[in-house]
Amino acid sequence: MQIIKAKDYDHMSRMAANVIAAQVILKPDCVLGLATGSTPIGTYEELVRRYNNGDLDFSAVTSVNLDEYKGLSPENDQSYRYFMNDHLFKHVNIRQDSTYVPNGLEPDSAAACAAYDEIIRQAGGIDLQLLGLGHNGHIGFNEPSDVFETDTHCVDLTQSTIDANARFFASMDEVPRQAYTMGIGTIMRAKKILLVVSGKAKAQIVRDAFFGPCTPQVPASVLQLHKDVILVGDEEALSLIP
């Protein structure tokens, strides 16, 4: 694993954008695995800035996102499709029909997940997967568990996640209870993985995930077994690593 220590969040975002930009420049028709969440927002802003400067061309890129809430439409501003449109896709020249997010409106979980794995397989697999890190070590919606789930699957959101999301919805009934997520096997098959972490609150889990035992109780710890991982973190997030 390669660790890149950045000064602060903005520096982390520029360093992460360097890795993604290099991927797009070296292989213009690459498959990018993308993430939502607060950490990569600055990275996406930086990529948009470089696109606007004429330094990046996304016209041949395919993207596959990690996860989506089951039951949310792309128009719902809490959906991950909406997030990606808002933060990246509508600002660059990626073809909308080459951007994939699990279909939250497919009620048949098995069908939704199998279709998504097939999309990734047809695309030829993921060249570079961008990941954030949950406070409990989750990647995508792969939460701590007794096993590593390999393929795209449907997860039941924990009550704490449901409660935390409630503020974004008009009523409790509208809060998603489940999500579709890429599995650990799919993530591990990506040729290269870029993980972004920022802030003191992530320091302990960064240490546990990358310097503790490899266990499904800390899903990100499986990345210790991948041969090409770049961890880009700011000083606070990396402050507890040995």
Least distance in angstroms from the C-beta of 218 to ligand F6R: 13
Q: Which residue is nearest to ligand F6R (CB)?
A: 132
Binding window for ligand F6R (CB under 6 A); candidates: 5-13, 136-144, 147-155, 212-220: 136-144
Query: Which residue of the set 68, 117, 127, 138 is catalytic?
Result: 138
Closest separation in Å from C-beta 53 to ligand F6R: 26
Interface of this chain with ligand F6R, residues 63 to 92, rule: CB under 6 A: 66-67
Contact track, ligand F6R, 203-232, x by CB under 6 A: ------------------------------
Candidate residues 17, 24, 139, 232; the one interacting with ligand F6R per rule CB under 6 A:
139
Whether residue 149 lies in the annotated active site:
no
| Helix (H), strand (E), coil (C) string for the chain | CEEEEECCHHHHHHHHHHHHHHHHHHCCCCEEEECCCCCCHHHHHHHHHHHHCCCCCCCCCEEEECEEECCCCCCCCCCHHHHHHHHCHHHCCCCHHHEECCCCCCCCHHHHHHHHHHHHHHCCCCCEEEECCCCCCCECCECCCCCCCCCCEEEECCHHHHHHHHHHCCCHHHCCCEEEECCHHHHHHCCEEEEEECCHHHHHHHHHHHHCCCCCCCHHHHHHHCCCEEEEEECCCCCCCC
Residue numbers at the binding site for ligand F6R (CB under 6 A): 35-39, 66-67, 132-134, 138-141
Residue numbers annotated as active site: 67, 136, 138, 143
